[in-house]
Amino acid sequence: MQPHPWQAPQWRQLIAAKQADRLHHALLLDGAQGLGKRDFAEAFAAALLCAAPDEEGVACGKCKGCLLFKAGTHPDLHLIAPEEAGKDILVAPIREHVQRAGLSSQLGGYKVTLIDPADAMNLSAANSLLKNLEEPVSWTVMLLISAHPSRMLATIRSRCQRLQFAPPSPELALEWLQRQGVVDGRLLLGMAGGAPLRALALNDDGVLAMRREALSDFLGLLEGRGDAVEIAGRWEKHDLERLFYWMSGWLIDILGLSSGGARSPANPDMVERFTALAARLDGRALFSLLDKVHEGRRGLRGSLNPRLLLEDLLLAVVQCAKVSGGNR
Ligand SMILES: [Zn+2]
Long-range contact pairs involving 218-221 (C-beta distance under 8 Å, separation at least 24):
218/247, 218/250, 218/317, 219/250, 219/273, 219/277, 221/314, 221/317, 221/318, 221/321
pLDDT of the residue at 304: 81
Q: What is the pLDDT of residue 141?
A: 95
**Domain assignment of residue 195, given as a range:** 172-204
The answer to whether residues 153 and 193 belong to one domain is no
Q: Are residues 145 and 17 in the same domain?
A: yes
What's this model's pTM, rounded to 2 decimal places? 0.74
Whether the Cβ atoms of residue 75 and residue 64 lie closer than 8 Å to each other: no
CA of 58 to the centre of ligand 1 (A): 8
Does residue 157 share a domain with residue 69?
Answer: yes
For residues 127 and 59, give the distance between their C-alpha atoms in angstroms, rounded to a whole number.
33
Helices (H), 50-90: 64-71
Tell me how far the alpha carbon of residue 110 lies from the centroid of ligand 1, in angstroms.
Answer: 13
d(CA 247, CA 146): 29
Residuewise pLDDT in 10s, the chain (328 residues):
899 999 999 999 999 999 999 999 999 999 999 999 999 999 999 999 999 999 999 999 999 999 999 999 999 999 999 999 889 999 999 999 888 877 888 888 999 999 999 999 999 999 999 988 888 888 899 999 999 999 999 999 999 999 999 999 999 999 999 998 888 898 889 888 899 999 999 888 888 888 889 999 999 999 999 999 999 999 998 889 889 989 999 999 999 988 776 567 777 788 889 999 999 999 999 999 999 999 998 888 887 888 999 999 999 999 999 988 754 4
Q: Domain containing 89 — which CATH number? A: 3.40.50.300
Do 219 and 143 fall within a single domain? no
Pair (25, 162) in one structural domain: yes
Q: Ligand 1 centre from 107 Cα, in Å? A: 12
How far is ligand 1, taken at its centre, from the CA of residue 95, in Å? 29
Same domain? 190 vs 113: no
> In this structure, which residues have their CB less than 5 angstroms from ion ligand 1?
50, 59-60, 63, 66
pLDDT of residue 328: 45
Q: Are residues 22 and 144 in the same domain?
A: yes
Based on the fold, state whether residues 107 and 125 are members of the same structural domain: yes
CA of 83 to the centre of ligand 1 (A): 29
Compute the distance from residue 2 Cα to the ligand 1 centre, in Å.
Answer: 12
Q: Residue 261 has what pLDDT?
A: 63
Q: Ligand 1 mean position to 23 CA, how many Å?
A: 19
Domain boundary among 146, 166, 186: 166
Q: Compute the radius of gyration of the chain from its Cα atoms.
A: 25
Residue 262 has a pLDDT of 54
Question: What domain count does the chain have?
Answer: 3
Same domain for 300 and 196 = no
Pairwise CA distance, residues 72 & 288, whole Å: 53
